[in-house]
Amino acid sequence: MAQYRESDNSAPQYWTKDPQEMISLLKSDMRGLSENEAEQRQKQYGPNSLKGKSTSSPYLLFLGQFKNPITLILIAAAILSLILQDKTDAIIILIIVLISSGLGFWQEYGASNAVAKLLQLVQITVQVLREDSPKNISTENIVPGDVIVLSAGDIIPADSIILSSQDLFVDEAAFTGESYPVEKQAGSLPENTAVAKRTNMLFMGSHVISGKGKALVVSIGMRTEFGKISDRLRLRAPETEFERGIKKFGFMLMQITLILIILIFAMNVLLHKPILDAFLFSLALAVGLTPQLLPVIITVNLSAGAKKMAAQQVIVKRLAAIENFGSMNILCSDKTGTITQGQVKLYKATDIDGKDNEQVIRYAWLNASLQQGFKNPIDQAVIQTYQNTEKTMPQVLDEVPYDFIRKRLSIMLSIDGKATAITKGAFKQIMEVCTFIQKDEKTILPLSDVYRTELENQYESFSREGYRTLGICWKNSETHTFSKNDEKDMVFLGFVTFFDPPKESAIKAINNLNGLGVKLKIITGDNALIAATLAKQVGIQDAVVIKGSELQSMSNEALMAKAARADIFAEVEPNQKEQIILALKKAGHVVGFMGDGINDAAALHSADVGISVDTAVDVAKEAADLVLMNQDLEVLINGIKEGRKTFANTMKYVFMATSANFGNMFSMAGASLILPFLPLLPKQILLTNLLTDIPETTIATDNVDESYITKPHRMDINFIKRFMLVFGLLSSIFDYCTFGVLLLMLKTNEQQFQTGWFLESVISAALIVLVVRTQKPFFKSLPSTPLWIANLVVIIVVLILPFTPVGKLFGFVELPARFYGYMTLIVTAYIITADYIKRWFYKKLASNY
């Protein structure tokens, strides 16, 4: 038989083949591939990824710096100028464009490398067999023919065929839309079996709910069923609110700029200035006025923020989420491990009368230790507490794994020669299947309404004391099989109670969150009494509690209103977590969700910021935007602060670009109309742009005012427009003052005017950075050392440039000493006025910012 090639379009319909036949086709083995064979297949098939090969190679990243259409037109115009006339000017323009693009490349390449290293810390792995030895490898390194070993919480890394399974239930909702787990078993199926009915197959995009199994990988990457049908997975992740805002801002500024550039070019032609010079001037002006470095600055800021957050034990998987993290004003979280210690301990095992009972703890231990599904903290607590003295373990006859619909786990054992089913689960769900109670070792009575009320009172009593309470029931059977339908007419045996004490740091952490303008909302499957008791213990007084049963009867509008006021959502179903998140988002909040469980993936996807922990199941880590290396609210608080610093520094660049660039636009438009020559040559404009960009590339290192960090901020286009108009016009006023000095007082010629304005323009732009970077008086908020140094270097270079041979190439000349005195007065007046206007602006026009 010919070898099966995964890349071949004529690949066999593998669901029709038995496992051994597929192993032969794939030249694999039940013991797995050898290391050498796996390496060869990785080279042949490439990475197991829906994104394809990485496009962030150094060469492509460098070429990407030239994708701005205005830059490309400018290069073409410079080449045309090189052919037709001024070779020196054209070469200078091309060199400046290359230096500017190189600066962007250097920053972005360093950022992408830093982020790639961070992502390796939270890489999703899968266990494979390598010559019968288990080994954890990255999911991207999976190849056809690999034998993967799966258990609850694992992500299915590729399309695979089942080799063996034990109560293996898989959630295929992301793939088929079906919310109920599907049982998977080895075997072959007819050729016409629909994808959703292929129970012998595992598909990329799904994850294991319970049980365990082994599977043979048959398709990877874009050749999986998920890859074939999901075009949207080839695209970027959905844009964040910040990304949309930045795009709108850039588009708005570009529109205004292009309109003015066209007008300036037309006016210069009408004034009979050389057409090629006017064209180059207009293009250079467009490059100088558009926020060309904005994408690079954002990437650099975000990667720098990601590195700082990593130092705070927060690993960023998706850079764009940092901005949302800083903007977050509501954090939804389960209580376990964040508010509580996450170390569940057994409190008591009692009968229906509330007395300690050996049979209750033994049956709970048998259920917990012999079940083959996911070992959760509750099972571990039972196993660790019970002192087993039995020499031989009962034989396991059958099992019905736990799921989040039934909230029960049943296991059938052979006990004293009888087939006995033991079921453990949430109290209410256990009561649903019981019709009898065990009064003592020999007495079994019908579950009357009186007994039912007594049991419910005991349950509520335990809950009010803060204990999580499960029920235990059993029944004997004539058969050795047991299914969900057999969970009926059972005997209620007793209660198993657990406690998970709150962290000592929880009260302080919750207060700190409130101080940062972030409200914590607890979402838990536990009952309302337990949740309310815990809330009191951590300082949340008079907590507003909404039960999952109440959510079912609420309209979307009612949920939006009530969700914002609630402190706790208790007794919620897994799908209701997502419902709560979406309601809060529709109400206008930026919502974070912290989860680590199998059933948290949908809520993590829906939140503005999905947060998980390093110890979470794979499906939760894969869905999250951020992963905490330490499951503690204090770690989260430090991450929020770093997220806000990153947001603040990104916005500083936006403010700088608007205050300097928009002002220059007005100044250039006016000057080009009143002067008989170009106010600045194209090469001078580009040099101005380059020199003002250099300090701004250090903005990621800048200090942020503590007052800014204390509340969340959001991207506000209207605010930016107001800032742009106020500070752009202010910048123009002092530019026209400079024009007046140069033309009226110093009677300068063309070259002197261009030199004088170049000096004033760059120096004022460098110094205005110190003003707009803070809401405080600029002398009360010091910038970072790199920002100081970069600005100082640029100012020194600009001052000495007219006296150097390089300055002569750019058309600069020496100026009379009087000009420097006038310029000092103008720039000083500009900085002082801008600082005063800034404080007025934030007080009158942006009081909420």
Active-site positions read 334
Whole-angstrom Cα distance, residue 168 to residue 185?
A: 7
- CB of 697 within 8 A of CB of 625? no
Amino acid sitting at position 516: L
Q: Give the DSSP letter of residue 495.
A: E
- CB of 326 within 8 A of CB of 471? no
Cα dihedral 65, 71, 74, 80, rounded to 10, equals 40
Integer CA distances (angstroms), 390 to 101, 240, 362, 394, 412, in order:
74, 58, 10, 9, 18
461 φ/ψ sector (left φ>0, alpha ψ -120 to 50, else beta): alpha
- CB neighbour burial string for 282-297, b if at least 16 within 10 angstroms, e if fewer: bbbbbbbbbbbbbbbb
Whole-angstrom Cα distance, residue 53 to residue 50?
A: 9
3-state secondary structure of 165: strand
Report DSSP letters for 241-267, one per residue: HHHHHHHHHHHHHHHHHHHHHHHHHHH
Q: What angle do CA 496, 500, 503 make, to 5 degrees?
A: 170
Q: How far apart are the first and last CA of the chain?
A: 70
Establish how many alpha carbons lie within 13 A of residue 201's alpha carbon, considering only the half-sphere containing its beta carbon. Answer: 27
Q: In the beta sheet, which residues pair with residue 345? A: 499
Whole-angstrom Cα distance, residue 472 to residue 616?
A: 28
Whole-angstrom Cα distance, residue 199 to residue 183?
A: 7
3-state secondary structure 446-467: ECCHHHHHHHHHHHHHHHHCCC
At residue 497, what are phi and psi to the nearest 5 degrees? Answer: -115, 145
Q: Give the DSSP letter of residue 235.
A: S
3-state secondary structure 519-577: EEEEECCCCHHHHHHHHHHCCCCCCCEEEHHHHHCCCHHHHHHHHHHCCEEECCCHHHH
450 φ/ψ sector (left φ>0, alpha ψ -120 to 50, else beta): alpha
Whole-angstrom Cα distance, residue 437 to residue 493?
A: 6
Whole-angstrom Cα distance, residue 398 to residue 636?
A: 43
3-state secondary structure of 617: coil
Q: Give the DSSP letter of residue 440.
A: S
- CB of 106 within 8 A of CB of 65? no
Q: Give the DSSP letter of residue 742.
A: I
Whole-angstrom Cα distance, residue 177 to residue 841?
A: 51
> Quick one: 311 exposed, middle or buried, by C-beta within 10 A (0-12, 13-18, 19+)?
exposed
- CB of 551 within 8 A of CB of 580? yes
Whole-angstrom Cα distance, residue 605 to residue 431?
A: 34
